[in-house]
C-alpha cells in the first residue's frame, strides 16, 4: 500500500487555510477553521493533497455551495461524508463545482455559526426558511 502524507486546503473567496500534513492511508486532521463571509452565493472548496518530494499531487476536490450549509452552533451537528472528485468545474474563472468521483471520501462538519451572544430568536429565524416547503 502506498504511504501518503496528506493535507487539505480550504478556500473561501480569497482566503485559504491548510491543515497539517498527516501520514497514512486514512488520515484524520480534526482541525477547526473559521471563515467569515457576507456572500452566501459562493462556496467552500476543499482540496485533499498528497505531499511529494518535489510536487504535491491532488487526491480530490469537493465544492460546497454556501446555500447548502446549515446553521448550527453545535460542533459535530452537521457532519457529512463528501465524495472527493477528480476535476474542478469552472465558470468565468471561478470554481462552481466538482465532477468525476475518485472513490475517496472526506468527513466534514461544515456549518454557519451565529456570532457569540446572538439570541436563540435569531437562530430560529435563520433555520425556518431552510425547513419550509412551498
How confident is the model over 7-52, as pLDDT tens digits?
Answer: 999 999 999 999 999 999 899 999 999 998 888 899 999 999 999 9
In degrees, rounded to 5, the angle at the alpha carbon of residue 102 between the alpha carbons of residues 5 and 59 is 25
- Yes or no: domain 5-131 corresponds to CATH 3.40.50.720: no
Average pLDDT over residues 95-111: 95
Question: pTM to 2 decimals?
Answer: 0.82
Amino acid at each position: 500500500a502506498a504511504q501518503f502524507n496528506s493535507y487539505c486546503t480550504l478556500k473561501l473567496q480569497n482566503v485559504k487555510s491548510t491543515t497539517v500534513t498527516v501520514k497514512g492511508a486514512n488520515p484524520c486532521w480534526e482541525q477547526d477553521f473559521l471563515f467569515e463571509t457576507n456572500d452566501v452565493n459562493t462556496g467552500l472548496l476543499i482540496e485533499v493533497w498528497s505531499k511529494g518530494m518535489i510536487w504535491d499531487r491532488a487526491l480530490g476536490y469537493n465544492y460546497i455551495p454556501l446555500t447548502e450549509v446549515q446553521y448550527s452552533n453545535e460542533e459535530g451537528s452537521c457532519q457529512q461524508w463528501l465524495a472527493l472528485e477528480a476535476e474542478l468545474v469552472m465558470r468565468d474563472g471561478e470554481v462552481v463545482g466538482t465532477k468525476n468521483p475518485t472513490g475517496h471520501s472526506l468527513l466534514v462538519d461544515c456549518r454557519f455559526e451565529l456570532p457569540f451572544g446572538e439570541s436563540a430568536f435569531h437562530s430560529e429565524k435563520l433555520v425556518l426558511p431552510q425547513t419550509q416547503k412551498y
